Structure 1
Amino acid sequence: MRIASYNIRKAVGLDWRRDPERIVDVLAEIDADVIVLQEADKRVGTRAGVLPLDHLETELGYIMADVSLRPLSHGWHGNAILLRSDFADHVPARIELPVLEPRGAVSVLLEQPHIEVIGVHLGLTPGMRRKQMLALQKVVDEREHPVLLAGDFNEWNSAQLPFVDPVTVVSPGPSFHASRPTATLDRFVLGQGLRAVSSHVHHSSLAKRASDHLPIVIDLAFAETA
C-alpha cells in the first residue's frame, strides 16, 4: 500500500501562481492509494478548498474524505485526505489536538485493508508541537488496529520527536524548501502492525515548482500480527 503526504501551500507554487491543476499532475506522478494534504484551503473567509475535486475523481480516481465543517472547505483546518474511490468502506473523522492556533488532525479508517491513516499539520511553537505529538502517540496507543500518521510536523530537530515504542518514525529525507531541500519537516509515524518497505521524497521537476514542500511517499507492508 502506498501513502503520500504533501503540503500544497494552497496550490501556490514557487512562481507565486495558484495552479491547482499542477498539484493534480504531481499527485498523478506519485500514484498513491491514500494522500494526506496540508494547506488544502485558503484559510481565510469561507476557507474554500483549492483543488478540482471533479478532476481528481474522474481523471485519477480519488475522492476526498468528508471531514469538513465548512461547506466550501477541503478538509479541516487545511488538512484533507484523498483516497482511491474503490475504498468504499471508510470512516472519516476529526481528531482534536491541543492548540494555540487553528490546528487539528483528520483521519480515515479503511475497512480493507484495515488501517487508519491520520493526517497532521502541527503547530509553530516547540512546546505546543510536543503536546500535539504526545496526544497523537496516545491516539495510536489506544487504537486496536494499525495506525499511520503522516504530515507536516513542522519539527526541524528530529531529537525533539517524543514518540516512543512501539511506534516507528520514518523520515524519507529533506522535503523543505522545495527549491533547495534541507529540512525534514514531513514525516510518517507507523504504529504496530505496519512496516515500511521503502520511503522517498518525490523530486520531480514539476514537484519542485508546485509548492514550497516536496511530497513524501511510503510503501507499506502489514505485519502478520496486524
Structure 2
Amino acid sequence: MKRLAPILLPALLCGLLLGACAQKQTTLKFMTYNIRNGRGIDEVQDLGRIAQVICRTAPDIVALQEVDSVTRRMEGRFIPEELGRMTGMHATFCRAIDFGGGAYGIGLLSHHAPLAVRRVPLPGREEARVLLVADFRDYTVCVTHLSLTAEDRLASLPLIRQATDTCRKPVLLAGDFNTDDATAVLAGLGGRFRPLSDTTRMTFPSHAPSVRIDYILGRRLPASAAVTQSVVDHTTTASDHCPLWVALSWRR
C-alpha cells in the first residue's frame, strides 16, 4: 500500500481539480433601457447620449424599448444598428407595429449574435405589443414593453410565462412593464420569476423618478446565482426613463 500512495494521491488531486474546472462561472451584466428613440426629457433627440450611457456601464446585454426602424420621423434611420455601431454591439430588432413607413418596437444589443430569435405577439388595444425571445449559449433573454391598458397588461403575463416554460437555460426577462405593482407582475407570471433588479428604486420619469415601471426578472437560475450589483442610474436624462442594470454570477 505504501508503494501505491505516491500514485493514488496525485491522481486524486488531479480528479478534484478537474471537477472544479468542470464548474465554469458565468458572469453577466444585463441592462434594460426604454430609450424613447433617443429623445431626452429635454426633448432633444440625441442617440449619442444613449450610446454614452450604455458604454459607460459596459453591459453584456441591453434590452431596448421604444425603438424605430427606418421610420419617417427618424429620417429612415435603423436605430438599433446605429446604437450597435456606437457601442460595438450586435443589434437585434423586433417589430411591434408598422409605423411611419417602417416599424416601431423593441430590441436587443449583445456582444454576440443570438443563436436563435423568436417573436411572441402580446395583447395591446392602444397598440400591439410583443415579446422578443433571444437564445444564447448559457441563457435566454426576453425583452418586452407591455400595454398601457391594465387588462391587456395582465393578459400578457401568462403568455410570457408560457413562452418561457420550454426554456431549459436560465431566463432573463426585462423591459418596461408600465405598472408599478411588482407583486401583480410576479403573480401574473405564475410565481416562476423572481426580481433581480431592486424593486424599491424608482425608474420614471428620469428627471424626478417617482414610479417604478421597469424591471429585470429571472427564471430557472441555478442555486448558485447571485446578484452582485443592482443599479438604477438616476444621473442621466437622455430618455424619459432611467436605465437600470444588474450584474449576475452563477456556476454551471
TM-score normalized by the length of structure 1: 0.83
Superposition deviation, residue 141 in structure 1: 2.3
Distance 1:140 1:89 in 2: 16
1:180-191 matches, within 5 Å, as 180-191=208-219
- Alignment pair present for 1:53 and 2:81: yes
Distance 2:128 2:73 in 1: 15
Structure 2 equivalent of residue 128 of structure 1 = 152
Distance 1:223 1:99 in 2: 38
Q: Percent identity, aligned pairs only? A: 25
| CA 137–55 in structure 1, closer or farther in 2 if over 3 Å, else same | closer
Superposition deviation, residue 193 in structure 1: 2.0
- Alignment pair present for 1:40 and 2:71: no
What stretches of structure 1 of length at least 5 have no aligned partner?
A: none
| CA 42–164 in structure 1, closer or farther in 2 if over 3 Å, else same | same
Q: Deviations over 1:151-207 (max 9, x none)?
A: 000012223222333421234221101011111100012001253333110223xx2
TM-score normalized by the length of structure 2: 0.75
Which of these residues, 221, 234, 245, is aligned with residue 203 of structure 1? 234
Q: Larger % of strand: which?
A: 2
What stretches of structure 2 of length at least 5 have no aligned partner?
A: 1-27
> Which has the higher mean CA deviation after the structures are superposed, 61-70 or 172-181?
61-70
What is the identity, as a one-letter code, of the residue corresponding to 1:167? Answer: F
Superposition deviation, residue 68 in structure 1: 5.0
Structure 1 equivalent of residue 3 of structure 2 = none
| CA 128–60 in structure 1, closer or farther in 2 if over 3 Å, else same | same
Q: Deviations over 1:22-68 (max 9, x none)?
A: 111111111100101000117965885563735633x5321102545
Structure 2 equivalent of residue 6 of structure 1 = 33
Distance 1:89 1:7 in 2: 21
Total equivalences in the alignment: 213
- Alignment pair present for 1:168 and 2:194: yes
- Alignment pair present for 1:117 and 2:125: no
Which of these residues, 154, 179, 182, is aligned with residue 158 of structure 1? 182
What's the secondary structure of 2:48's corresponding residue?
helix
Structure 2 equivalent of residue 193 of structure 1 = 221
Structure 2 equivalent of residue 25 of structure 1 = 52
Q: Larger % of helix: which?
A: 2
